[in-house]
Amino acid sequence: MKSLWWLRFLFLLSVARLGSAQQLLCERTLPWPATQAGYRATGLLRTQPDSLRLVGDFSSSNSAPQALTTSLRRVLVAACDTLPVRGASWPLAGYIGTSQGLVTRRGQVLLSNSSPSDPTAPVGLRLLGRDGQPRWTRTLSLGRYQAVNALLEAPDRGFFVEVGTFATHWLVRLDSVGNTRWQKVVGQGGVGRQVQAATYTRTANLLLYGQFFGGVRLWEITQNGDTLRWINPVVAPAQATPNVNRIDLECMQPLRDGGFLLLANLDSVYTGNYHYFRPLLIRLTATLQVVWTSVYRQQATASYRFSSPLELADGSLLVAARNAASGYQGNPYWLFRYSGSGQLL
């Protein structure tokens, strides 16, 4: 269950923030509305050093159109106190939806909702104030089968929104009140081309990253929407690992020196009914040069997938791991700690 996954991630995040102490601060089951049994968490966003906002959506069926809702909860990590829901639910008609969330520098929250399985559904955007009340709501219609893949706050309190359609990937620039300044095509869409998220480089360019035809692509774009370059840093370690027939990107984490840590999974064994992955860590400089790579070579009966990387105060790296071969229920999470040079500690 995804809600259990996010709950586990919540207390893992609490552990990691303690650095070398690695003590569990607290653990608490969040009470979801009883009338919404299908409610599931889809995002965990840090707003302050001691609090998080949990973004979720709800759909009671996987086969029929439903009203999707996006709600906001605030969780106080230090004491495990759950504060009241901030803001009412936001319905958007369509099939199973996907949600993205962004906490601004002023503590506002930008939410998106899209229904990529519906060819004609628009993309919805809503900005909530610190009190949880809506400031503005906008819709975008850029093509068929739309999905919001990434949100970034612009320096002038506007926003960059990456929208993928069946044919193209769009970068949309919004001002602070949700009006569109410009929209540009930044890549081809379609099956096998999926943007997962975006961040900033040290030179203030946008860095998009995602899954492209079984590989990983990073591409750098100026704040005017002009593409500078793209790279695939997973090619070399994948070629050096025997029998790789699939690469899954997990995430990419910005680091304090301006570089990045990229987490992926190399599928080197296929049993006929399950893929056994080898977690891959790639350390990149601020200019996207590969510093080191590390492939975790596990036993054939295990299939660890790494996620949720955190950089600790001493420069070491902490990642959460789950043995995907053991299912979800009753499956413990593990913490793996790596040195700044990529050695497992």
Answer yes or no: do 256 and 335 share one domain: yes
Tell which of 77, 96, 115 closes a domain.
Answer: 96
Q: Is the pLDDT of residue 239 over 60?
A: yes
Q: Are 200 and 206 in contact (CB under 8 A)?
A: yes
For residue 302, the enclosing domain spans 240-345
CA distance 66 to 258: 42
**Is there a single domain that holds both residue 194 and residue 302?**
no
Instruction: Specify the pLDDT at position 118.
Output: 78
Is residue 223 domain-shared with residue 122, that is, in the same domain? yes
The pTM (predicted TM-score) of the whole model is 0.72
Domain boundary residue, one of 33, 64, 96: 96
3-state secondary structure of 169: strand
Question: Which position has the higher pLDDT, 166 or 63?
Answer: 166
3-state secondary structure of 187: strand
| Highest mean pLDDT pick, 43-47, 52-56, 120-124, 179-183 | 179-183
Indicate the number of domains in the chain. Answer: 3
318 and 248 part of one domain: yes
CATH number of domain containing 214: 2.120.10.30
Task: Decide the pairing of beta strands 275-284 and 260-270.
Answer: antiparallel
Q: Which two tokens stand for residue 303?
A: 């299939």
What does the DSSP 8-state code read for residue 344? Answer: B
d(CA 129, CA 104): 10
Q: Are residues 109 and 227 in the same domain?
A: yes
Same domain, 32 and 88: yes
- 290 CB burial (10 A radius; 0-12, 13-18, 19+): middle
Please give the order of strands across the beta sheet that includes 123-128.
Answer: 98-103, 109-114, 123-128, 134-140
Cα 121 from Cα 144, distance rounded (Å): 8
| pLDDT number for residue 93 | 38
- Residue 22 is predicted with a pLDDT of 43
Helix (H, G, I), strand (E, B) or coil at 86: coil
Look at 58-67, 132-141, 255-264 and tell me which has the smallest mean pLDDT.
58-67
pLDDT tens digits along 304-313: 778 778 888 8
pLDDT at 201 over 70: yes
Most confident stretch, 44-58, 165-179, 331-345: 165-179
- Going by C-alpha positions, the residue among 174, 203, 151 that lies closest to residue 45 is 151
Are 254 and 345 members of one domain? Answer: yes
247 and 311 inside one domain: yes
Count of alpha carbons within 13 angstroms of residue 130, beta-carbon side: 6
Question: What mean pLDDT is reported for the chain?
Answer: 70
On the question of pLDDT at 203 being above 50, the answer is yes
- Beta strands 98-103 and 109-114 are antiparallel
Q: Is the pLDDT of residue 58 over 50?
A: no
| 158 and 82 fall within a common domain | no
- Domain stops at, among 64, 96, 128: 96
Torsion of CA 10, 129, 140, 175, to 10 degrees: -120
The edge-to-edge listing of strands for the beta sheet with 168-174 is 147-153, 159-164, 168-174, 180-188
Q: Report the half-sphere exposure of 209 (CA within 13 A, side-chain side).
A: 24
